[in-house]
Amino acid sequence: MEDVLRQWGGEYALTAYDEPSGAYMFIAVHSTRLGPGAGGTRMKTYATPGDGLLDACRLAEAMTLKMAVAGLPMGGAKSVLAVPGELDPEVRRNLLLRHGRNVHALGGAYRTGPDMNTNSADMDTLNEVTPYAFGRSVANGGSGSSAPDTAVGVFHGIVASVAHAFGSADLTGRRVLVQGAGAVGGPLAEMLVKAGAHVIVSDVSLERVEALYDTLGVEVVAPASEFDTECDVYAPCATGGVLDATTIPRLRCRIVAGAANNPLSQRSDGELLRAAGILYAPDFVINAGGGIHLIGYEALGWTTEQVEAHLIGIGTTLTEIYRAADAEGISTEEAAERVAHARLAVGPSPS
């Protein structure tokens, strides 16, 4: 944990241990330069508490970049509730209430939302003790699930990536492999099929791929073969850390563009993709749709048209990043980070 904090460079991390659940609780606030730190609450089991803190810190840093590139008046932060395993519902609820009180103690410097293993109902629970929870249920004044708009943003990102790589934005007949047929991957597969793409889906859940096979007629591949499948676009929409020195040489695609947070095991993997001639859409640029949805509707009072315009903007931003990367001979990851750091250097825009 000392190493994580020394190497991180964020503003602060709030840590606690919850005796009844056995959970370690982390709120990592990486940057409030552009506005309050925003980022979801992840509930997950880790090998060690230090791994939980590391995840919170890495994800918080990615949120800083995501907010800056998306032009949202927010900073970067993330919470991790590192649970020992499945929790009894009452113990889980009390853990969430304690987390909500910790969020509230930060006085609005941190705003949270749903993430892995937390949902709108959990945000309703947090809302019992703090107003600083995005993504509450519609019945409780929230804007509902952000996943469909994350999918819309990824779709625009794929169109922009295809246009850059192939010289035409037409998806007709393009082979797109969607890894993970979940809350984002499902609606993404549907939009791609409607746009004429040949969609290939993989998921560890047979039930989920079967549902998409039945409704959309997608091709299905086993998770073990997803990296070796010939396609134009590989869209990671499952978990992070899927691309590394072992999996990148196996890829048979021209583009990597999907929703998963931190799909690269390490930063240098962006260079490996570039060397392999694969166009990479940086995660914190292409998956900003969920943040645009939650912050746009719930913090900025945007209309549906304004949210949609910002989702389309993800494609435009990616095109600019691809052109800058080509011109400078750098990875798209580095080009995107430069955009974020330039905005952070300027600071918040006057409103």
Ligand X SMILES: NC(=O)c1ccc[n+]([C@@H]2O[C@H](COP(=O)([O-])OP(=O)(O)OC[C@H]3O[C@@H](n4cnc5c(N)ncnc54)[C@H](O)[C@@H]3O)[C@@H](O)[C@H]2O)c1
Active site residues: 78
Q: Does 261 bind ligand X (CB under 6 A)?
A: yes
Q: Does 147 bind ligand X (CB under 6 A)?
A: yes
Instruction: Closer to ligand X by CB, 171 or 184: give it.
Output: 184
Kindly write out the interface string for residues 105-144 of this chain, putting x where it contacts ligand X by CB under 6 A and - elsewhere.
-----------x----------------------------
Stretch that binds ligand X, among 71-79, 84-92, 124-132, 199-207 (CB under 6 A): 199-207
Kindly write out the interface string for residues 262-301 of this chain, putting x where it contacts ligand X by CB under 6 A and - elsewhere.
-------------------------x--x-----------
- Measured CA to CA, the distance from residue 280 to residue 48 in angstroms comes to 31
What is the C-alpha R_g of the chain? 19
- Find the binder of ligand X among 150, 229, 331, 332 (CB under 6 A): 150
Q: Does 241 bind ligand X (CB under 6 A)?
A: no
Q: Does 62 bind ligand X (CB under 6 A)?
A: no
CA distances to 106, 113, 222, 259, 286 from 153, in Å: 31, 18, 26, 9, 6
CA distances to 208, 231, 239 from 203, in Å: 7, 17, 11
- Measured CA to CA, the distance from residue 290 to residue 295 in angstroms comes to 8
Q: Dihedrals φ, ψ of 12, to 5°? A: -165, 160
User: Residue holding tokens 């907010």?
Assistant: 67
User: Minimum distance from CB of 167 to ligand X (Å)?
Assistant: 29
Instruction: Closer to ligand X by CB, 98 or 270: give it.
Output: 270
Stretch that binds ligand X, among 118-126, 213-221, 255-263, 301-309 (CB under 6 A): 255-263
User: Minimum distance from CB of 238 to ligand X (Å)?
Assistant: 3
User: Minimum distance from CB of 19 to ligand X (Å)?
Assistant: 29
* CA-based nearest residue to 31, from 71, 70, 62: 62
- Measured CA to CA, the distance from residue 116 to residue 134 in angstroms comes to 15
3-state secondary structure at position 262: coil
* CA-based nearest residue to 161, from 266, 62, 250, 278: 278
Q: Does 79 bind ligand X (CB under 6 A)?
A: no
3-state secondary structure at position 203: coil
Instruction: Tokens for 50, please give them.
Output: 């230090």
Q: Does 184 bind ligand X (CB under 6 A)?
A: yes
Instruction: Tokens for 97, please give them.
Output: 């209430």
- Find the residue with minimal CB distance to ligand X: 182
- Find the binder of ligand X among 16, 105, 121, 204 (CB under 6 A): 204
Instruction: Tokens for 44, please give them.
Output: 């997950």
User: Minimum distance from CB of 133 to ligand X (Å)?
Assistant: 15
Q: Does 200 bind ligand X (CB under 6 A)?
A: no
Instruction: State the chain's maximal CA–CA distance in angstroms.
Output: 57
User: Minimum distance from CB of 111 to ligand X (Å)?
Assistant: 15
- Measured CA to CA, the distance from residue 117 to residue 83 in angstroms comes to 11
Q: Does 259 bind ligand X (CB under 6 A)?
A: yes
User: Minimum distance from CB of 322 to ligand X (Å)?
Assistant: 21
Tell me which residues touch ligand X (CB under 6 A).
116, 146-147, 150, 179-185, 202-205, 208, 223, 237-240, 259-261, 287, 290
